[in-house]
Amino acid sequence: MLTQFARAQAKQLLDAVAMFFHRLGLTPNTLTLIGLGLVGVIAVVIAAGYEALGAVLLIFGAGFDATDGSLARLTNKVTKFGGFLDSSLDRYADGILMLALVWRGIELDNRWMIALAVVALIGMFLTSYTRARAEGIGLELKEGWFTRLERMLVLVLGLLATLVIGQTGLIIALAIIAVLSNATAVQRILVTRRKLGE
């Protein structure tokens, strides 16, 4: 999974940034809330038509989003509520970003952008829900072809591509996210069935 590889490679940097925030007196849950606020700002930037700037800010935001977990581990403040809060606000962040793209689609009178953003959002939520539901019945479910890091990477590339090929780049990115997110949700359903032996 790309997420595990990326975190392993960026561990030292994330730890250093996390300790910087710790010295400022910030807690992991505070970082999680600030991260959601940052995504809200990014969504407004994208909805206003500054897709490439939104992409750059998303790169920064993704790194910021990863620091709350690092800070929790480094300061021995890993809690069940912290994990729950982080996961819940990640879903809000996904929804806010797709809402920005729906808004952009309305502004551009682009029905494909609107439809793909909605289908992508369904896939995003189901990818997360299937894992949470499996864990709720006592299974570990980390399998998944296309998780949050992959989705954000494709979205960033699609936003940047608007500089070269216009909105077509964003449409392609949304189509990839829509298809692969929903495929990952189906994959997790099948994996769960196999693990349950049914």
CATH number at residue 15: 1.20.120.1760
Q: How many domains does the chain have?
A: 1
First to last CA, the chain: 26
Residue entry with tokens 């912290």: 82
pTM for the model stands at 0.90
Alpha helix ranges (H) inside the chain? 2-9, 11-23, 28-47, 51-65, 67-74, 80-107, 111-136, 148-165, 167-196
Which range marks the domain in which residue 113 is found?
2-196
Mean pLDDT of the chain: 90
Residue 77 buriedness (CB in 10 A; 0-12 / 13-18 / 19+) = middle
User: Within the chain, which residues score under 70 in pLDDT?
Assistant: 1-10
Catalytic position from the list 65, 68, 90, 94 = 90
Catalytic residue list contains 90: yes
